[in-house]
Every structure is written in structure tokens, then in C-alpha cells.
Structure 1
Amino acid sequence: MASKPKKEKKNRKVVRTAGGQVWEDVTLLEWPDDDFRMFCGDLGNDVTDELLTRTFSKYTSFQRAKVVRDKRTNKSKGFGFVSFKDPGDFIKAMKEMDGRYVGSRPIKLRKSTWKNRALDVVRKKEKEKAALLSLLMSGNKS
């Protein structure tokens, strides 16, 4: 029975869109779907996944931490993500850790907007925008 969820995860596709491009993002398969994810910005080159994990693992529902790196050079891109299961821990960490030093720099925290780039979400927002525009345009004609 335990093998079924793994199989479903592998078959799941995460299609993203940004900047006019559409692509499949396999890195999102490593993250839970129902988490509370935080964007960690202004990270120094000295910050690793392990340091980010040690920094946020004091919160009981902490799940995962990842520093985003350049594929060719493996150098940090200066940002990462931290995942929590409980929204209370997410809010507490956001309040307590924003501006605190992690490595050699103070960290900047924001709510992650990764879901806003999912293709289905983008298409839904585009349809809503088009419907609003047509409603406004038809209202102006009368």
C-alpha cells in the first residue's frame, strides 16, 4: 500500500508559466502540495540547505529547506525556500526570523507565491481578467 502514493507523485506533472514561457518543473515534486512555504531572500553564498534547515528546524512543523543554486556553477542564487506543515509555525517563523542573520547576512522572508505560477492558476486568472474586461467594456457602451 505504501508504494501507491510514491507512484502517484512520480506521475504527477507540475506545469509552470512565467515570462511568457511554459515548462514542467520537476523540482516541485520534492515538496508537499499542502505546505506553508516561505521565500527566503538575500542569502549569502555561505548559506547551505543544512544551515537553512538548522535555522528553521526549531519550529515543530518544519518540513524542508532548500537553497536554489545555479545548475552549471552550483553557486547560490541568493534565495531559497522553507516549508512548514502548520500555518501557526509559518507565521511565528515569519515574525521571529525576518531580518535575523543566517550566515553572513540578514534574511528577508516573504510568503512564497509558487502556486501563482502554476499553469492552471494562471489560465484561471487570465479567464477571470478577460471576463472582467468584457464586462467593463460592455458597461461602457450603454
Structure 2
Amino acid sequence: MREDIIKQAVSLHCGDGSEPGQIAEAMTVVLRLLHNELTLVVGAQASTALVAHAVHRTRTQIEWAKPLAAGPFDMLLKALRDDLAARTSAECSFAGGTLISTLVDHLISLIGEPLTLRMLNSAWSTHGADQSSQENF
């Protein structure tokens, strides 16, 4: 289900184009929206650290062009966008999707799937999630 939510969120921001630059922009918009939602819960520094941790965890699957050091979120996001845009469309989609999935998996391990799905739906304004599987908080 979370893969569907991720795909839906990216496709909403990607439009009809499948050029690497458009895909990279969509991936970074999706990451920014999730970062903004996380910031409300854990603060900007912790939210940025979670994204940086996801980048670190994906380095074995994705050869990032240059080290993406932790720092201000906007700098990290720009470096990610530039790296993704320099790839083929397929590589860009894989790398961005893997990064977002890794971040979501990490959130699930920290706060559980129901709360993570709520956060994703709130961040990305998706309504396709099965609401009956989510706990009421």
C-alpha cells in the first residue's frame, strides 16, 4: 500500500513528462512535502537528519554522484535534485523511489505503519489509503 501512495504522490507532481529533470523535481517536491510534515512532529533538524539517514542507507544500492553531506535541508535537496536529474529517466525513478521508500520504511520502524500512513496522506494529500487499517489517535 505504501508503494502505491509513493507512486501516486510522485505522479501528481511529475505531470506527463518523463524526462529526468521532471522526475527529479517531482521526487524533491515529494521529499520536501514529507520533510515539512515531519518537521511539525520532530522539528527541522531531526527531519533533515531522517532524510540524510535515508540517503546514507541507500548508498549501497544507489551510487550517488557525490557525497550528500548532512547540512541544511535546502542544500541536501538541491544536491539530490541535481544528482537525480543527471541520470537516465529509469535510473532517476529508481534512485528517487528507493530513497523515498527507504525513508518511509525507516519512519514505519520508528512510529509504526498506521501513523506513518497518516503522515504520508497528510503530507501528500492522497486519499487512496485504506482508512480502516489506520488506528484512531
Q: Which has the higher contact order (CA 8 A, sep 6+)?
A: 2
Q: Which has the higher strand share?
A: 1
By the TM > 0.5 criterion, same fold? no
TM-score (norm. length: structure 2): 0.30
**Larger Rg: 1 or 2?**
1
